[in-house]
């Protein structure tokens, strides 16, 4: 019997997360690594050697013109996501693009228009949406097991030190905590508020933020936001690159609550939800196993959708409409703290 051809991936960029995805694709049974492109041919060759990739290019364009590549993973700084999404679409390549999808909602609309016109697949790489823990969380909320959802608390922060060379601390690269990690809690709050009403997501009617913006980085280094959703649910979000918090999610309902201790990078085995259901006096722990490591599940979700001739995944995977709503919420958070990027003024 002839072996099924797996999805051929090309990677743009050889940075930190590109290495994680290369390993994830290597472990996947649905895809294989076909090419890598870098601004530097030396870097592309070293990356290709480390992950047994047959083609190394000294430019991103060469990955796009490579006939052996079906899908491109964009692991570049935020500022470059829209441009390379549009170029990938024009080259007829399917796309997995790192979060946040673009610098702002207007860019996201342009990029999605290009993807729609090219009829290729696109997903914003929110890996936590591909883990069964997220699916289970949505299910518990949808079924009303904690009553009416009234308050969502979510954070994602870590302390990376004040390394001004890092893209996360660069206004020029559209960095900052809101873009780098704040995009997770805001996407989670929108997901949960949506699930509470039986919908894939819900956009907030109000976003009020606050942030400390570094003098040198000119981006937010720690930030918080209060959201109000139509129907009355509110959310309390925080993020930062200079302070480590518990980075957990708590969903408070009228008759119970849910704690998600590890919402963003859940383990493959024994991911844990702690749920106090209505009518119960003490919380119960639910352990969730996943069929593959987190990032492998993400590339497998892309491959499955493409095999099915779908151009987007199904919720709780990140749909295009969800991405557009998230970008609008990020715009509102940034506007409320007075943060804009150099590339938005050109």
Q: How far is the CB of 182 from ligand NAP (least distance, A)?
A: 11
Q: What is the secondary structure of 306-342 as a DSSP string?
A: HHTT-SSPPTTS--HHHHHHHHHHHHHHHHHHT---H
CB 157 within 8 A of CB 177: yes
For ligand NAP, give the closer residue by CB, 20 or 243.
20
Which residues are CB-contacts of 101 (< 8 A; sequence separation ≥ 6)? 81, 82, 85, 108, 111, 124, 323, 326, 327
Q: How far is the CB of 60 from ligand NAP (least distance, A)?
A: 7
Closest residue to ligand NAP using C-beta atoms: 15
For ligand NAP, give the closer residue by CB, 167 or 274.
167
For ligand NAP, give the closer residue by CB, 70 or 180.
180
For ligand NAP, give the closer residue by CB, 39 or 307.
39
CB 69 within 8 A of CB 271: no
Q: How far is the CB of 127 from ligand NAP (least distance, A)?
A: 5
Tokens of 35: 């090419």
For ligand NAP, give the closer residue by CB, 265 or 278.
265
Which residues are CB-contacts of 173 (< 8 A; sequence separation ≥ 6)? 77, 78, 79, 167
Q: How far is the CB of 163 from ligand NAP (least distance, A)?
A: 11
For ligand NAP, give the closer residue by CB, 127 or 305.
127
For ligand NAP, give the closer residue by CB, 249 or 276.
249
For ligand NAP, give the closer residue by CB, 58 or 147.
58
For ligand NAP, give the closer residue by CB, 40 or 284.
40
Q: How far is the CB of 249 from ligand NAP (least distance, A)?
A: 16
| Cα distance between residue 210 and residue 41, in whole Å | 42
**250 DSSP β-pair partners:** 153, 259
Q: How far is the CB of 280 from ligand NAP (least distance, A)?
A: 34
CB atoms near residue 190 (< 10 Å): 25
Residue with tokens 């969730």: 288
Q: How far is the CB of 158 from ligand NAP (least distance, A)?
A: 11
Please provide residue 9's backbone torsions phi and psi, each rounded to the nearest 5 degrees: -95, 140
∠ CA 121-122-123, nearest 5°, is 135
Q: What is the largest CA-CA distance in the chain?
A: 63
| Cα distance between residue 196 and residue 232, in whole Å | 11
Going through 64-105 in order, the beta strands assigned E by DSSP cover 71-74, 94-97
What residue ranges bind ligand NAP (CB under 6 A)? 13-18, 38-40, 43, 75-78, 98-99, 125, 127, 167, 173, 180
CB 322 within 8 A of CB 58: no
Q: How far is the CB of 78 from ligand NAP (least distance, A)?
A: 5
Q: How far is the CB of 258 from ligand NAP (least distance, A)?
A: 23
User: Pick from 36, 60, 33, 61: which is nearest to 46 by CA?
Assistant: 36
């Amino acid at each position: 019997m002839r072996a099924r051809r797996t999805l051929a991936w090309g990677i743009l960029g050889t940075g930190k997360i590109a290495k994680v995805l290369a390993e994830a694709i290597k472990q996947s049974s649905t895809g294989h690594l076909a090419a890598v492109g870098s601004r530097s041919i030396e870097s592309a060759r070293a990356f290709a050697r480390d992950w047994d990739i047959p083609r190394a290019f000294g430019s991103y364009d060469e990955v796009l013109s490579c006939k052996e590549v079906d899908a491109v993973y964009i692991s570049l700084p935020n500022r470059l996501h829209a441009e390379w999404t549009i170029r990938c679409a024009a080259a007829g390549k399917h796309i997995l693009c790192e979060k946040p999808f673009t610098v702002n909602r207007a860019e996201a609309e342009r990029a999605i228009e290009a993807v729609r016109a090219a009829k290729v697949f696109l997903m914003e790489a929110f890996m936590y949406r591909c883990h069964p823990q997220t699916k289970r969380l949505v299910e518990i909320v949808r079924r009303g097991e904690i009553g009416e959802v009234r308050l969502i608390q979510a954070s994602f922060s870590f302390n990376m030190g004040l390394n001004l060379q890092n893209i996360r601390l660069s206004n020029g690269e559209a960095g900052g905590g809101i873009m780098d990690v704040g995009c997770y809690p805001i996407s989670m709050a929108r997901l949960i508020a949506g699930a509470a009403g039986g919908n894939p997501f819900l956009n907030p009617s109000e976003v009020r933020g606050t942030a400390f913006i570094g003098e040198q980085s000119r981006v937010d280094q720690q930030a918080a936001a209060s959201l109000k959703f139509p129907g009355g649910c509110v959310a309390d979000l925080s993020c930062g690159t200079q302070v480590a918090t518990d980075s957990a999610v708590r969903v408070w309902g009228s008759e119970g609550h849910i704690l998600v201790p590890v919402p963003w990078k859940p383990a493959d085995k024994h991911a844990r939800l702690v749920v106090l259901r209505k009518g119960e006096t003490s919380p119960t722990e639910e352990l969730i196993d996943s069929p593959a490591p987190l990032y492998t599940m993400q590339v497998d979700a892309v491959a499955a959708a493409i095999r099915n001739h779908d151009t987007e995944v199904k919720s709780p995977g990140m749909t295009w409409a969800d991405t557009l709503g998230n970008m609008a919420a990020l715009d509102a958070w940034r506007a409320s703290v007075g943060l804009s990027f150099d590339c938005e003024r050109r």
